[in-house]
Amino acid sequence: TSIVWEGLREPLQIVHTRVALPIEQDDWRDLSREVQETRLKVFLKTNRKSGVDLSKEPLLRLALIRISERAHFFVWSHHHILLDGWCVSLLLKEVFSRYEALRRGEREPSVPSHPYRNHIAWLRRQDLAAAECYWRASLAGFTAPTPLAVNRGAESTQDMNDVDYAEQSLLLSAAGTSALSAFAQRHQLTLNTLIQGAWALLLSRYSGEEVLFGVTVSGRPADLPGVETMIGLFLNTLPLRVRIGTEAPVREWLQALLAQNIEMREYEYAPLLQIQGWSEVPRGQPLFESLLVFENYPMDQELSGTHGSLTMSDVAIGSQTHYPLTVDVNPGTELRLSLWYDRCRFDNGTIRRMLSHFEKLLEGIAVHPEARLSDLPM
């Protein structure tokens, strides 16, 4: 598919009958493993910077790089407008199934699925007037994006493809992760709510203001038949406005934040562009400059393993948004916190300190549920 919008009343996704799929192939067998790893990092960085032209189909590309007689690096790059993380395991399972059928000379299996257009039809049936009332009330009085007080300012940001993004991560200990999960379960909260709370506190202490940041939601409505197996972009980004009452007990404040999330989900179908238009932030300014992504989609562990004659290992998923700061949270036995950041806006030391503060706030939440927000250490 490709996307067209210029001169049209609304953007359209064009499905083309025939498409030449771009596949880059290379052979690195004569290189040492160390050199191969270095070249792969360079390849991935260059690949990401090249971006995607939405008006030219297809919005994905593949690279197959041979590194030994029976092993390859395989790189699948696509624009997020095609599909979201939920779809990755669904799509790869279908690839494996078809590959094995072709290898054995059998007919390719038919995979039952519901078309993505059913989701578009569902969206068109939703009550935008009700959503507008909710979002106008939710954002009333908020007139400028929460300042990221430790950054160098937006004026230095260049064209999207010229921005130099970097990533830093840390792993919470297994004991710390277990303590957070136990806290959430004991107080009927979600781990996502604890993460949101810690990030809101961090932004509040950095900026000294009430905060608003973006959060992602799966966007897969429970009343849409077959939605669990549909391939496409369902993910939506919503603004989460968090009021910080410094005297509020941690547990009660988090429970109120969860209730706010539940109410917000009733209107999650509204496009972010329209939500921004309903806000009091002037046109041309961003509604928020940091995005929190909690990766809770069903990425099957089976994908790293053997599938017929193929084995997949060292699977890594990397994404890049246009926001200067993106928090990526991966749950597991050790919670992984990653910050993707625009290096024109943030230096490496600032991001290291930010991660450390984030970790300390999460530990404080788990240990001091009855403390006041202002008493949590950072």
> Using one digit for the tens of pLDDT, what is the confidence trace for 72-88?
999 999 999 999 988 98
Closest CA to 201 of 17, 7, 376, 13: 376
Q: What is the pLDDT of residue 104?
A: 93
Neighbouring-strand partners of residue 242: 211
Please give the single-letter amino acid code of residue 185. Answer: Q
pLDDT at 157 over 50: no
Phi, psi of 72 (to 5 degrees): -140, 155
Please give the single-letter amino acid code of residue 292. Answer: L
> Using one digit for the tens of pLDDT, what is the confidence trace for 131-154?
999 999 999 999 999 988 787 765
User: Can you say whether the dihedral through the CA atoms of 328, 153, 241, 278 is positive or negative?
Assistant: negative
Could you say which DSSP state residue 309 is in?
T
Mean pLDDT of 16-40: 96
The rounded mean pLDDT for the chain is 91
Phi, psi of 320 (to 5 degrees): -140, 130
Could you say which DSSP state residue 187 is in?
T
pLDDT band of residue 156 (cuts 50, 70, 90) is very low
Tokens matching residue 75: 């790189």
Closest CA to 193 of 180, 174, 203: 180
pLDDT at 324 over 50: yes
Tokens matching residue 348: 């490496």
